[in-house]
Amino acid sequence: RNGRVDLSHGAGGRAMAQLVADLFVAAFDNEMLSAGNDQAAFDVSEGRMVMTTDGYVVSPLFFPGGDIGSLAVHGTINDVAMAGARPLYLSASFIIEEGFLLSDLAQIVGSMAAAARDAGVAIVTGDTKVVERGKADGVFISTTGIGVVPEGLSLSADAARPGDKVLLSGTIGDHGIAVMSKRENLTFETEILSDSAALHGLVADMVAAGGPCLRLMRDPTRGGLAATLNEVAASSGVGFRLEESAIPVRPQVHAACEFLGLDPLYVANEGKLVAVVAPDHAEAVLAAMQGHPLGRDAALIGEVVADDNRFVQLTTAFGGGRIVDWLSGDQLPRIC
Amino acid sequence: RNGRVDLSHGAGGRAMAQLVADLFVAAFDNEMLSAGNDQAAFDVSEGRMVMTTDGYVVSPLFFPGGDIGSLAVHGTINDVAMAGARPLYLSASFIIEEGFLLSDLAQIVGSMAAAARDAGVAIVTGDTKVVERGKADGVFISTTGIGVVPEGLSLSADAARPGDKVLLSGTIGDHGIAVMSKRENLTFETEILSDSAALHGLVADMVAAGGPCLRLMRDPTRGGLAATLNEVAASSGVGFRLEESAIPVRPQVHAACEFLGLDPLYVANEGKLVAVVAPDHAEAVLAAMQGHPLGRDAALIGEVVADDNRFVQLTTAFGGGRIVDWLSGDQLPRIC
Ligand SMILES: Nc1ncnc2c1ncn2[C@@H]1O[C@H](COP(=O)(O)OP(=O)(O)OP(=O)(O)O)[C@@H](O)[C@H]1O
Ligand SMILES: Nc1ncnc2c1ncn2[C@@H]1O[C@H](COP(=O)(O)OP(=O)(O)OP(=O)(O)O)[C@@H](O)[C@H]1O
Ligand SMILES: [Mg+2]
Ligand SMILES: [Mg+2]
Ligand SMILES: [Mg+2]
Ligand SMILES: [Mg+2]
Ligand SMILES: [Mg+2]
Ligand SMILES: [Mg+2]
C-alpha cells in the first residue's frame, strides 16, 4: 500500500507470503528457497564445518561502494572465510520498520542477491518480521553463514607465535570513512568508497600458498585493525610489533581521518583481512595475496613478538613507538 | 554504566569484548564459543542437513510462560525439527537498543541458555550490535539453527496427498493469547501461559513411529493453524477438511478469543506442530505423540482432500461448514 512495508507484511498472512515470493524468493532464486519449507535442506560430506552470524545495522543504509544488503552478504562470507573455509550457504533474517519504502527494500534485496551470486553462495532460507514505526531504523539484516574447512587446516585465535609475520590484504579505513562521510554529508575531492567485498577467493589462494603455515586470519571490522590485533594478542598470549609506514592507507582516507580526528587503525573495514603466518611461508602467502585483485596492495606490516603485556606496538615513521590499545569507550560513531 | 547497555557495548572495543565474555560466552558456556574465533568450527558426518533462521521481535519481551530468549531458542529448534531433523547448533545475533537494562538482558540471555541446555543444543556463535535509543524496541534476536536429517526421511511442503491424515500435537492459541493478554494487561481467572517449547523430542518419537509415512510437519506460528494449512494446501495442490470439534482449544483461550474478537485458528503457537501422515500410519504416529509430554493432547483433526481450489474447510460442531482462508490484512496485532 503506497509502496511501503506495512505490518501485514510480517503477520503471517497472504501479504507476507506474497512479499516473500515476489521479492525475496524471486531475487535469491534457488531451489531450496522455492521449496517453501520451514528450512533449507542440502547434502554435506564428512568433514569440518564452520558457522558464523552477524547483525547489520549500518546507517545510512546506502553508502558509497555498497549498501546494507551487499554488506550483509560480504561480512558473513568473510567470517566464514577467516577460518580458511569455503562458504556454502547463507540465511537472512530481516527486521523491517513499518513504512519502509518497498523500492528501497527491493534495491537492498537486489544487491544482496547480486553479492551472493557473485560470490557463488546461495541464500537458502530467510525470515521477515515487521515492527511498528519508530521501533527499528529502516531495516536490520542478520545473516548466518556455514562453510567447509579444507582438510588439514585449523586456524585459531590462539595460534600466533613469536616470530610469525603479519600480513594485511590492503588499505585500511575505507569502509568506515565511506559510511561516516555519507552520514555527515562530507565531500572530499575523490569519493571514498567502502571496501566491502567477499574475501573467500583471496583466502582460497592464500590457503593454496600457505596451507597449515597459516596460523589465523581475521577481518578487521568494528574497532579496526587495532581491535583485531589486540584480540589476537590476548587469545594467543603474545604481542605485536607493527611498522606504521608499512600499513597502507589511502591519502584521501588519511586526510578524512585527520579532518574527523580519527586514527585509521580504529576505523572499520569490510573487505580486508589480516593474516598471521609462520615466517618461512610469509613471502609465498604475500605473493599469493598480491596476485589476487583483492590483495593487490597486500603488505607485510609487522610481526608477532613475545610480550607478557600483550601489547600491540607501532614503530612510527620517525623511529619512535607507541602502544595501540583498543578503544575503551565509544570513541567512534556507530558504523556497523 | 548505570546498569544499562550503551553504544560502546557494540563498538568493537573493550566494553563489547567484556560484555560478550562476561554475559554471553559465560551463559552459553561451550568450547566453540570460548575459542573466540570469528566462527564456530565442528565436525559433521556425511548426510542431509537443514538450516533455518527466524528473527524474534516479540513485545512485551517477557510474557507468561517465557520471554524473547526462550522463544528464540525454541522457535528455531522447531523449524529445524519440522524437517524431522535433529538440531545440532544455534547462532544468535543480538540487536540491542541503547539504554536497555543489563539486568533484563542478563535474564533473557539466561533463559536462552537454559532453553538451549534443556534442549541439548549449543549456541556456538553470536553477534552483538547496539543501536541508538529509539532505533530498536529493547532487543531483537535472530537465531539460526542447523540440524541433521535421519537417513531415508524427506518431509516436504508438497508431499500431502488426498486421504492423508492431519495430526495436531495439542491445544492452539496459547502463545498468542498469553502475549496479547500481557500486552493489553488483561487478567483472566486462570493465567494463560505461552506454549513455547522445543519440539525435537516429540518429533524424534514421531519419526520412530511413522518414518517415511510422515509427509510433512509444520509449527503453526504466525497466522496460526489457518495460515499453515493454507500454505501446505497451496504447496501440495490439495485441500483440507478439518473437524472443528476435534481441534483442542483451552477453555480460557476460547474465552479470551471471544473477548478479543479473535479466532483461535489464526492465533500464533510456539510449541505445537501439525503433521500430515499417510493414513495407514496415522494411528501409530498419534499414539507416539500422545505418549510424549508435549503431545499429550494430540488429536487427529482432519484429512487431506482433493480440491482444485485448495481450500481449508472446517466442519463445525453443528454439522455446517466454512472455509478457513488465511488472513489478508493485519487483523492480528503483531505478536511474533
Ligand atoms: N526475507 C526472506 N528471505 C528469504 N526467504 C524468506 C524470507 N522470509 C521468509 N522466507 C522463506 O519463506 C518461508 C516461510 O517462512 P516463515 O518465516 O513464514 O516460516 P516459519 O519460520 O516457519 O514461520 P515463523 O517465522 O512465523 O516462525 C521459508 O521457506 C523461509 O525461508
Ligand atoms: N551475543 C553474543 N552471543 C554469543 N557470542 C557472541 C555474541 N556476540 C559476539 N559473540 C562472539 O564473540 C566473538 C567476536 O564476535 P565479533 O562480532 O566481535 O566478531 P566479528 O563478527 O568477526 O566482528 P564484526 O561483528 O565486527 O563483523 C565471536 O566468537 C562471536 O561468536
Ligand atoms: Mg563479522
Ligand atoms: Mg570477523
Ligand atoms: Mg520464519
Ligand atoms: Mg515454522
Ligand atoms: Mg519459525
Ligand atoms: Mg560479529
Atom of ligand 2 at shortest range from CA of B125: 31
Q: In angstroms, how far is the first alpha carbon of chain B from the final one?
A: 31
B274: left (phi over 0), alpha (psi -120 to 50) or beta: beta
Partner-chain residue, chosen from A91, A95, A221, that has the shortest CB–CB distance to B51: A91
Q: Which domains does chain B have, with CATH numbers?
A: 7-149 (3.30.1330.10), 165-323 (3.90.650.10)
Query: Cβ of B336 and A12 within 8 Å?
Result: yes
Which of the four pLDDT bands, split at 50, 70 and 90, describes residue A333? Answer: low
**Whose alpha carbon is nearest atom 13 of ligand 1?**
A36
* Contacts of residue B308, Cβ cutoff 8 Å, sequence gap at least 6: none
Q: Which residues of A touch B84 (CB under 8 A)?
A: none
**Interval A111-170: pLDDT, tens:** 999 999 999 999 999 999 999 999 999 999 999 999 999 999 999 999 999 999 999 999
pLDDT at A47: 98
Q: By alpha-carbon position, which residue is closest to atom 28 of ligand 2?
A: B38
Write the ipTM. 0.98
Size of interface A-B (CB pairs under 8 A): 296
User: What is the structure's pLDDT at A332?
Assistant: 62
Residue B131 CA to ligand 2 centre (angstroms): 16
Structure confidence at residue A184 (pLDDT): 87
Q: How far apart are CA B49 and CA B198, in angstroms?
A: 19
Q: Scanning every residue of chain A, which has its alpha carbon at the shortest distance from the alpha carbon of B52?
A: A39
Alpha carbon separation from A99 to A103, A142, B56, B321 (Å, rounded)? 11, 20, 19, 38
Report CB contact under 8 Å: B39, A51: yes
Q: What does the alpha-carbon distance between residue A248 and residue B34 come to, in Å, rounded to a whole number? A: 32
A53 contacts in chain B (CB < 8 Å)? 91-93, 125-127, 142, 144
What pLDDT score does A177 carry? 96
Q: Which three cell numbers stand for residue A160?
A: 600466533
- What is the mean pLDDT of the segment spanning A197-223? 97
- Residue A127, ligand 1, Cβ within 6 A: yes
What's the rounded mean pLDDT across residues A21-37?
Answer: 97
Which pLDDT score, from 0 to 100, does residue B194 have?
98
Query: What does residue B222 show for φ and ψ, rounded to 5 degrees?
Result: -50, 135
* Nearest protein Cα to ligand 1, atom 10: A126
- Is residue B118 within a helix (H) or strand (E), and if so which, with residue range? helix B102-119
Which residue of B20, B22, B28, B96 sits with most ligand 2 atoms within 8 Å of its CB, as the best mutation to test the pocket?
B20
Q: What is the SS3 assignment for B243?
A: strand
Q: Which amino acid is at B36?
A: G
For residue A125, give the ligand nearest its CA.
1
How close is the Cα of B78 to the center of ligand 6, in Å? 7
- Residue A31: φ, ψ to 5°: -70, -35
User: What is the DSSP-derived secondary structure letter of residue B24?
Assistant: I
Cell of B251: 477453555
- In order of A126, A173, B142, the CA distances from B55 in angstroms are 9, 31, 4
Mean of the pLDDT values across residues A57-74? 98
Q: From the list A51, A134, A140, which residue is nearest B134 (CB)?
A: A134
Query: What is the whole-number distance in angstroms between the Cα of residue B255 and the centre of ligand 8?
Result: 45
With a 6 Å cutoff on the Cβ, whether B75 touches ligand 1 is yes
Residue-level pLDDT at A175: 98
Please state, in angstroms and rounded to a whole number, the distance separating the CA atoms of residues B69 and B88.
18
What is the Cα–Cα distance from A23 to A326, expressed in whole angstroms? 41
pLDDT-based confidence at residue A336 (cuts at 50, 70, 90): low
Residue having the nearest C-alpha atom to atom 31 of ligand 1: A125
CA A136 to chain centre: 22
Ligand 5 (ion): residues with CB under 5 Å are A 127; B 54
Radius of gyration of the CA atoms of chain A, in A: 21
pLDDT of A178 > 70? The answer is yes
Determine, for residues B336 and A10 on separate chains, whether the beta-carbon distance falls below 8 Å: yes
CB contact under 8 A, B140 and A140: yes
Chain A residues with CB inside 8 Å of B51's CB? Answer: 39-40, 42, 89, 91, 124-125, 144, 146
Segments of chain B scoring below 70 in pLDDT:
1, 328-336
How far does the CA of residue B274 sit from the closest CA of chain A (Å)? 13
The shortest C-alpha distance from A292 to chain B (Å) reads 23
Cβ distance A221 to B12 less than 8 Å, yes or no, reads: yes
Closest in B92, B231, B334 to A10, CB measured = B334
Q: Residue A330 above 60 pLDDT? A: no
Segment B269-304, tens digit of pLDDT = 999 999 999 999 999 999 999 999 999 999 999 999
Q: CA A245, A251, A253, A256: dihedral to nearest 10 degrees?
A: 110
- Averaged pLDDT, A44-52: 98
Cβ of B143 closer than 6 Å to ligand 2, yes or no, is no
Answer yes or no: do A39 and B15 touch at CB < 8 A.
no
Counting Cα atoms < 13 Å in the Cβ hemisphere of A23 gives: 23
Which pLDDT does position A189 carry in this prediction? Answer: 79
pLDDT for the residue B189 = 79
Q: Is the CB of B19 under 6 A from ligand 2?
A: no
| pLDDT of amino acid A188 | 80
Q: What is the rounded CA–CA span in Å between residue A134 and residue B100? A: 16
pLDDT band (50, 70, 90) for residue A334: low
* DSSP strands (E only) in B196-260: 214-218, 239-243
Pick the residue of A74, A144, A262, A332 with the most B CBs within 10 A to test the interface with B by mutation.
Answer: A144
**Ligand 6 centroid – CA A38 distance (Å):** 5
List the single residue in A with minimal CA-CA distance to B17. A231
Specify the residue for cell string 521449496: A35
Number of H helices, E strands in chain B: 10, 14
- Whether B14 sits inside 8 A of A327 (CB atoms) is yes
Average pLDDT, chain A: 95
